[in-house]
Amino acid sequence: MTAPSPEAPPVPSALEPRPEGPSPRWRRAAQGLRWMRLATYTGVTTLVLATLWSLVGDRTPPASVMAGDLLYALSFLAYVAFAAGLWRYRSVPACTGAARPARQAFACLACGVALYLLCYPALALLARVFGADDRWLLAFVVLCYVAVIALNVACSVLLVRALGATLRSLGEAPPAWVPMALVASIALPILLIAVEIALLSFATILPRVGLGLVLAFGLAAEVAVVLALAAVMGFAARALARQESPENALR
């Protein structure tokens, strides 16, 4: 058996995956995360503006309709931008370990949108079949609502998993508060709905200002959680963008 030549380049071990070199995939994934972060900021701004408008806005029909249409258009554009950004982020190189959860997150988001869009035609069909029986219609609406929420939760969990895998694969430590922010983003809407129902049930006992304070606190907490998750997207986008630098190209 001949000894290996000293000039022969070392063969990397198959058990040690090495990051890929500069590739358009890094750039597309980083751009997708930037789109998602911008869409998140736009969605949060729209939510805050819609809440303020409902409290102190002009109640005249023309102004109310115009403001509602504008906020709806901004919210829709933010949702489309987030989906487009997630589509680009799913092309992240496989060496990061984030490609699969990113694709799964996009699949959950797409299924949620499709279910939401198909809910109204299916509801009209059920109304023709069952007539005025509201029980079947209500059960169908609740089922669709729960399914859409479950798909959105699954999308958030998979997205956080993909972001964590991206940061770890590039030598960056994900912030320790990311799991807590994820749990809070899932639990807060459920908790707020339960508290709102409880306060409305005891409206004759509890003052109405209590409901307003709870909703304001919940809105502030929800905005803080969403902004925290958007910050993680920024961390991952910068880490991906650095893979295109000349220093990383030589490694």
Whole-number pLDDT of residue 210: 59
pTM of the predicted structure, to 2 decimals: 0.74
Asked whether 182 and 155 are in contact (CB, 8 A), the reply is no
Whole-number pLDDT of residue 223: 82
Whole-number pLDDT of residue 196: 65
| Alpha helices, DSSP H, located in 57-98 | 61-89
| Residue 217 CB neighbours (<10 A) | 12
Domain boundaries, the chain: 24-241
| Residue 119 CB neighbours (<10 A) | 17
pLDDT digits (tens, 9 = 90+) for 148-201: 888 888 888 899 899 989 988 888 888 888 778 778 777 777 777 676 666 666
Distance CA 219, CA 200 (A): 18
Whole-number pLDDT of residue 16: 43
144: CB partners within 8 A, 6+ apart: 115, 116, 119
Provide the 8-state DSSP code for 204: T
Whole-number pLDDT of residue 88: 92
Ordered per-residue pLDDT tens for the chain, 251 residues: 455 445 544 544 444 444 444 568 888 899 999 999 999 999 888 888 877 777 665 556 666 667 777 877 888 888 889 999 999 998 898 888 888 999 999 999 999 888 877 877 777 776 676 665 667 777 777 788 788 888 888 888 899 899 989 988 888 888 888 778 778 777 777 777 676 666 666 655 555 555 667 667 777 777 888 888 888 898 899 888 888 654 444 34
The Cα angle at residue 239 between residues 157 and 39, in degrees rounded to 5: 55
- The first and second tokens of residue 154, run together, are 């699954």
On the CB side of 212, how many CA atoms lie within 13 Å of its CA?
A: 7
10: CB partners within 8 A, 6+ apart: none
